[in-house]
Structures are given as structure tokens and as C-alpha cells.
Structure 1
Amino acid sequence: MKPSAIRNKVVVFGGGTGLSTLLRGLKKHPLELTAVVTVADDGGSSGRLLDQYDIPPPGDVRKVMAALSDVEPLIEELFQYRFTAQDSLDGHSLGNLMLAAMTDITGDFATAIKKMGQVLNIKGEVLPAANERITLHAELEDGTIVTGESKIPMYARKIRRVYLSPQDAEPLPETLRAIREADLIIVGPGSLYTSILPSLLVQDIRDAVLLSAARKVYVGNLTTQKGETYRYTASEHVAALYDHVGEPFLDAVLLNSKDLMPVLTAAGQAVTSWPVECDLDRLAELVPQIVQEDIAFAKDGRVLHDADKVARWFMEDILAEEPCKEEA
């Protein structure tokens, strides 16, 4: 007779630094993790590879794979390494190039991610929101249409909605299966319009999330984002999620409880990203459960989510580990 731990199935949506940070905390716990990553990035190294090789942009996927990897720190650093020489490699990440090469070898982006995941010994599964190029568009409040994820924040105007082309982009069967089997779905943290929503706008993913019996939790951003969510409150973030998905779908929201303004205004720095206001009365009309915890820390004048504290909250308050079962 030996104990067998109960493993909880968790699907996380997002992209960029926010998703990577969260996963670094969650991977330390006995969870079956699936990260569904946006492939709408069209800037920097990802954008150049997208144009040159006609593949989905690898940047956010690379960051998530690095976060979930279980290899020597030097190998992870190598995967994340960005060239700075003034030549054709300038600005490219080695990991992006490796994913592009593996896609060329295997003939398929999703297969390339799976094979590279084996090399990096990642804990969990990384799945692109679609196995093809997709383009993110934004309709601004004045009716202007902006095409391209990297261009949207540059306009610094209020966003009315974002949408994808092609509109019939299909997710991988593995993604839909992970959502159906999930015990918990986590949304965020991350850029609302350019990191979180692009994955949820894939129609089959949206439908699967709405049909899922999993508990659904949004991890609120610590600060607003210039060009995307300037001075948005917590309830406005949630309302934007509901507007795009089509109906309320969250069971809970996890927010920071600490006053962040002293950090942001330290040493006379100009504040360009404001702390997200926790307008609890309005938020209570949108979400059944609101939780405020001290889940932030300051570094180099910035505030970041504490990955370990966030992961611990999920383990203790939502995914409380069940007693071990005995198996023959």
C-alpha cells in the first residue's frame, strides 16, 4: 500500500509576464497545469519571425515554457537569451529562434512546443490558443480600427472592443479537453486586451469555458496599463471580460490588499501606471466572491505579483489539498 496524491487540474489563460509569474508559483505545488497562451503578439522578435516564417508568434509561449521549465538555471537563461549585436540577430531571443526552427523541422507549431517542452522538462503543458497565425484588432472609442497587438497601446485611447481575424480560428483538441476536465480555471494577471482576451476570443475556447463546471477565478492586475486600461477600476476589468465573452462567468476575483501608491511615487517618479482601484460595491454586483490578500511586492520601483503568495492562496483557499488515498 502506498499513498497516491490527488492532483488538481488547473487551466490558466494569459500571456506575457503576468502569466509567467503566476506559473512560477503554481508549478511548485501538486497540480496538473495547462497554460493556454495567446498567439496574437506581433511585435519585436515574435513579429519578425511571424513575417519571415509565417508561424504563430513564439514570444509569449517562450516565456511560459521558461517559467514552467525544470532545468539548470543556465539552460533557462540560455533559452531566454536575447541577442544585442547589430546584425540580423539583433533583438531575437534564442528561445524564439529555437521554436521557429523546431516548427520548420516538425511542420507544426503545436508539435514544436511539445518537443521543446521535452527538452526543457517543463512541468505541465503549454498550448497555443490557436495553431495558426491570428491577428488582434481593436475598435477604439472614436471608431478607429487598429490592427496588430503591438500597435493598440500606442494610440492611448479608450478601447471599445477587441476582436480576432480569422474569426473562425480553431484551438487544439487538447486545449478543449483540458478546459472540460479542469477543476479550476484561472484568468490573468496580464494585459487585459492584448494578453488575456485574445485567447478567450477564440470561439470554441470561449464556449468551452462557459460550459465548464470548473471554478473560475480572475487574478486582478495590480496597476492599470497605459494605452489599454488607463485608470480602470477592478470592476471595469471584469466588465470588459464579460462584454467580450458575452456573459458573466467568474466565480471569484483575487485582488491585492496593499496600498501601492507609496511604491509608485517613491523617489519622485512620475506615475504612469496607477494602482487598480478596488471598487468593491460595484464589483460585488458582478462577481460572487471577492478576496483581498497581500499578494504584491516592490522591486526597482515597480510592483509585481508575489507568485508564491498567489499560488499559496489557491492551494489553501480553493484547491485545498485532499488527504492522500491508499492504492493497492
Structure 2
Amino acid sequence: MKPNIKKELPRIVVIGGGTGLSVMLRGLKEKPLDITAIVTVADDGGSSGILRSELQMPPPGDIRNVLNALADAEPMMSKMLEYRFTAGNGLAGHSLGNLILAAMNDITGDFVSGIRELSRVLAVRGQVLPTANQAIVLKAEMTDGTVVEGESKIPKAGGRIKRVFLEPPDVDPLPEALEAIRETDAILIGPGSLYTSILPNLLVPGVSQALVESDAVKIFICNVMTQPGETDDYSVSDHLKAIHDHVGHHLFDYVIVNNGEIPPQVESKYAEQGSKAVHLDLEEVKRRGYQVIADRLVLFRTFLRHDAERLSHHIYQLVEGWMSKKR
């Protein structure tokens, strides 16, 4: 009788924040993968900003979204986490999930422990970690020399971003996050707001160095649309250049991009907000040494989103291929 040897799942680290990351994770959790999500703690707007300021805790909003995306919970539980109060003195604007995370932070005495305990309650498929166990302040230097402070204020500044940086610059990275990066088989960065969701993670001391030193396959998921006030008129290579300029290294082996057409009426809707499809300058991206996976990766309901199922298929194929080469 042969021994029952359990096959180890490929380990994958996903880094970012915002809605795009959560959409992708809903697809990835259906694959046989051991997922760790490393999430930004730079948010300072809305409910997260209020809790961050009043309770001196890391902002919970992006963490809440990721927990919800990876949870194996009843649909009503998911709705409950996302429920946002519309009335009530002090309650209006807060999401219930943010308040629960604030409570768990108090109960356990530590934000990371609170996330871990809530993950158990929600039967989260994977591990969710903040990049640091403290809130960080994001600042942007614009091309005209002005400095804008605060993640929520940067896209509204009306200028072009030259660089972003952290305050304090010597924030301690979460040791568990660095360990996950060192031990993983694949690293995914994006999709999400380039300057306010992705780069704040990479600027935490030690994170980019751990990424550079890792022998995991490294994949960048490019946004479908430009973001007003952040990536106006950016092409795919512009996104990659911004990351290279901040990190100082060529990070990625593969870039996954959308090449599907966006219906004219949808383009018009986004154009009204100052947003347009990210241009795929394929030859320039290849010239810079990246391998490109291009496919029709968008769905449109109320908003344009990545097709989570199709995107996760490409990611899984890349990870499996990379693992086969290493065996």
C-alpha cells in the first residue's frame, strides 16, 4: 500500500491594495494555491482614515476587502462586512467590517493578531498580512516641486507625480511579510493604484530587497484603465518604469496585460472622469526585458474590472510552468 503523500500547493504572494487586488483574489482562491496577501497600510481617507486617526491603528479598509475576497463565508456574511452605515452620529460612513477589525485590534492588542483571528472566523483561504504593523504616511513630490501629504489627497492634487515616499522612511516591515516573500514560489504585484496602493508596499524598507533576492517568478498585473491624478496617459511601460525608478531594480519576469477591446460607450463613460485604457506599447515593454501575456481580461458590469477567472487561469499556468522548470 502506497503512503498517502499530500502534495504541497504552490506558494504565491500577492502584493497591493484596493479593489483590483480583491477582484483578482476572488479568482485565485479557486485555484490550488497557498496564498499570502500583503496589503498596504497607507490609506488615510474615509472610514479607514477616521479609525486610523482616532484609534491610532493601521487603516483597516484594504485589509477588510482582501479578507472578504478570500473568505469562504456565507453571502450574507460578506454583505455584512461591506455594510456601510448611512446614518448615526459617529457611525455614518463607517463599514461594519472596518469596525470589526478595530474591535479585533483592541481585543487581541495587536492589528496582525486581530487579522489572524478574524481570518479564522471567516474561514479565509490563505493568509492576509499588512506590510507593516503600523500606519504609514504617504507623500508625493510632484513635477513642479510641491509635496502632497496623504494617500487620499495625492490623486486630487491636480499635478503630475514625480515620486512617492514614506513618512517615517524607516518604518519597520512586518517580519512575517518578509518571510512570506523569501519562501514563496511566485510573487504577484498589482492590479491597483500605482502610486497609492502598489508602491507604498514596495517602499517599506526591506520589502523591495526581499523581492529582488527572491528566486520566485515575479509577475506584474497591469491596470486596465489609467487613474486620474495618478497615471494620466500612462502606457504599460510607464507603469513599469515608475516601479523601476522607485525600487531601483528590474523586478518582473512577466507582465500580464489586457488587450481586449473596451466598448465605445464604456470608454466614453470613463473619459468623462478623465480615465482611458492603458496603452499596451508591446515592443517597448519587450525591449525592456519583460515577457508579456496579453489577453482579453476585462468584464464590464457597473465598472470595468479584470475577469478574475481568466486572469487567475493565466497566473496559475505561469506558476505551474515555473515550478516545473525548477523541479
Q: Do the aligned residues in 1 keep the contact of 2:228 with 2:273 (CA within 8 Å)? A: no
> Which amino acid letter does the alignment assign opposite residue 148 of structure 1?
G
Cα pair 2:224 2:258 within 8 Å, conserved: yes
Question: Residue 312 of structure 1 aligns with which residue?
Answer: 313
Find the residue that maps to 1:63 and give its secondary structure.
helix
Structure 2 CA distance for aligned equivalents of residues 40 and 304 of structure 1 = 23
Shift of 1:161: 0.2
Question: Counterparts of 2:100 and 2:24 in 1: how far apart (Å)?
Answer: 24
* TM alignment of 1:104-183, pairs within 5 A: 104-183=106-185
2:210 to 201, 208, 211: 208
> Aligned partners of 1:88 and 1:168: how far apart in 2?
34
Q: Which amino acid aligns with 2:315?
A: F
C-alpha change, 1:231 and 1:266, in structure 2 (3 Å) is closer
Aligned partner of 2:289 among 287, 290, 304: 287
* Structure 1 residue ranges without an equivalent (≥5): 324-328
Q: Is the 8 A contact 1:220 1:234 kept in 2?
A: yes
Residue number among 222, 225, 236 corresponding to 1:223 in the alignment: 225
Question: Is the Cα contact below 8 Å between 2:217 and 2:322 reproduced in 1?
Answer: no
Q: CA deviation at 1:266?
A: 5.5
Partner deviation per Cα, 1:282-314 (whole Å, 9 max, x = no partner): 1112233011011111113x3210111100111
Q: TM-score, normalised by structure 1?
A: 0.94
State which drifts further: 166-175 or 181-190. 166-175
Q: Return the alpha-carbon distance in structure 1 between the equivalents of residues 47 and 63 of structure 2.
A: 13
Which of these residues, 78, 81, 92, is aligned with residue 79 of structure 1? 81
Q: Give me the TM-score of the superposition, normalised by structure 2.
A: 0.94
CA distance in 1, matches of 2:270, 2:116: 46
Contact 1:40/1:134 (<8 A) preserved: yes
Where relative contact order (Cα < 8 A, 6+ residues apart) is larger, the structure is: 1
Q: Find 2:275's aligned residue among 270, 273, 276.
A: 273
Q: Where does residue 256 of structure 1 map in the other structure?
A: 258
Gap change, CA 1:276 and 1:74, over 3 Å in 2 = same
C-alpha distance in 1 between matches for 2:260 and 2:273: 17
How many angstroms does 1:322 deviate by?
Answer: 7.8
Counterpart of 2:93, as a letter, is G
**Alignment root-mean-square deviation, CA:** 1.7
Q: Which amino acid aligns with 1:18?
A: G
For 2:60 and 2:242, the matched residues in 1 are separated by 26
Question: What 5-or-longer segments of structure 2 have no aligned partner?
Answer: none
Report percent identity of matched pairs: 46
Q: By how many angstroms is 1:38 displaced?
A: 0.1
Number of aligned residues: 322
**1:52-101 per-position Cα deviation (integer Å, ceiling 9, x unaligned):** 10001000000000000011111111111111114210000111111111
Seen in structure 2, the aligned counterparts of structure 1 residues 216 and 321 have a Cα distance that, compared at 3 Å, is closer
Contact 1:6 1:322 in 2 (8 A): no
Aligned equivalent of 1:246: 248
8 Å CA contact retained: 2:267, 2:276: no
